[in-house]
Structure 1
């Protein structure tokens, strides 16, 4: 007859198994990430601190730019954000301070600041006509992924859409053109 484990025993077993899997797991490949949120009143580009996932990096690139940037300017600024992205491993001294998502209060403050910058009073007005694209640089390739606005200042992937992949040394103008095309896909999804 098999012994039935208590909840505490099951939890301890699961935690031990997860710790063992983590020890055996290979560290992720180094990458860099940034996000572009294009609103009607401004374009915001933010670099991320990255390990397995990414979090906005308070020491990285965080700029508000003109809403209708040309391709060359968009490519140059997006490349600057990618280059400012940092790969932060768990043994980095800033890990706990950086590798965390903003709290609901911090998100509300960011949304309020963005609404004030755009001169609107609601999130619906702020995100009306907005587009979002994430950029990932890994293995000398830049992946552009457009996102569909879901509502309540959140985004989701676009079903059936293939990400755009460019070489790392693509010109600023070609890079910017690909970003502008991805933003159009995001807005129309």
Structure 2
């Protein structure tokens, strides 16, 4: 797992890890709607695990109605600001990342989205907003990192899970490259 922490990832790997489409992520990046931890140099960009986590959280929040810009701001606070910790001794993706809390709680106020990182098991019900979205940071991070690393090592397909993941990635890429009937 120690090698996983230092791994540089390709664009296709982080997109696949986040469960997004290349077209959506390219649009977000070109419009400067998201902030990642890596920067473009000489027209190239190498991504890392923090970028995978950021994109996975952004995509999940956007799925729940948060704007891309707000989701990026929240994800950066949760991942970079709260200080996500990597366990280089982990033997499974689930244990590779540790957050300050288990869950990301999101709720809508009048003008914008509010959020809190906490452990629901240790939280009283009356301390929560009346209506909220709860995202499991552990589940999102474990899934995103595993998918990104499998995508990166897709050339060595030595078990059924890796083959299924590689096929899913290929299908997403083909769908993204196929023009919509509404585009023409």
TM over 0.5: no
Whose strand proportion is higher, 1 or 2? 1
Q: State the TM-score, normalized to the length of structure 1.
A: 0.24
Structure showing greater radius of gyration is: 1
